[in-house]
Copies of this chain bind each other. A is one copy, B any other.
Amino acid sequence: MVQKYQLEDKVLLAVDCIIFGFDEEDLKILLIKRNFEPEKGKWSLMGGFLKRHENLNIAANRILYQLTGIEQIYMEQLYAFSEVDRDPAERTISVAYFALINIKEHDKALIDKYSAKWFSVTELPELIFDHSEMITKAIKRLRYKTSKKPIGFELLPEKFTMRQLQKLYESILGEKLDKRNFINKINALDILIKLEEKDMNSSRKGSFLYQFDAEKYQQKVEEGFSFKL
């Protein structure tokens, strides 16, 4: 490739990943203890640098895979953070990505191996650089997206109860919802399959399990529906 813009400044381009998970109680974020300088030993988002042959989406997925063993998940670009001194070591622009995963489906061993740890969004530790700001922005975006598309399903196990789904929405939105209204709305969407099966952990009576009906959902998206909670 011919170099045409030789007089221009080049910069390091980092990618930082905000990984949301849900454990039936709280919305959580996956963080790691940074194992290189500067700020070695402090908590950080999963980050790495863009390589010559990658676009940002690919870099985000590679970095996540390298640091946690998690692969092939839905990731979305959030924002480019570019304050001149955001990384004291060297001028670095960071593009933040965020992803949603089901905590239980991802191999705990691999996560432990890299000293990754889940933190509730309400109890985050101090983070390096501008990572707190990134998280704040990601939560805001997640709330918005949740109100437009039923995005939360990535965060739940394949089979889940209405109670779990409601808890998930409550922890994303940060507010309590009315049970009956919630169920009515979800049912009105008509994108869940009610199973015969019951989850017997939560109560004696047991509660019915549901599955997300990807096919019906796809169909509705094509018809141009907009999810509103």
Q: Chain A: residues with CB nearer than 8 A to chain B?
A: 1-5, 8-13, 37-38, 49-57, 77, 79-80, 82-84, 88-93, 95
C-alpha gap A88/B1 in the complex (Å): 8
C-alpha gap A89/B6 in the complex (Å): 11
Contacts of A92 in B (CB 8 A): 5
Which residue on B lies nearest to A48, using beta carbons? B8
Which residue on B lies nearest to A10, using beta carbons? B10
* A80 lies within 8 A of B51 (CB): no
Which residue on B lies nearest to A53, using beta carbons? B84
Contacts of A9 in B (CB 8 A): 49-52
C-alpha gap A185/B84 in the complex (Å): 43
Q: A5-B12, A12-B10, A82-B55 are in contact. Are A50 and B93 (CB under 8 A)?
A: yes
* B2 lies within 8 A of A12 (CB): no
* B82 lies within 8 A of A56 (CB): yes
A44 to chain B, nearest CB (A): 14
Partner of A3, one of B50, B54, B90: B90
Contacts of A54 in B (CB 8 A): 84
15 additional contacts (CB under 8 A) given A1-B89, A5-B49, A13-B13: A1-B90, A2-B90, A8-B49, A9-B49, A9-B52, A10-B11, A11-B50, A52-B84, A53-B84, A55-B82, A55-B84, A56-B93, A77-B79, A80-B80, A82-B95
A170 to chain B, nearest CB (A): 20
Partner of A12, one of B8, B51, B77: B8
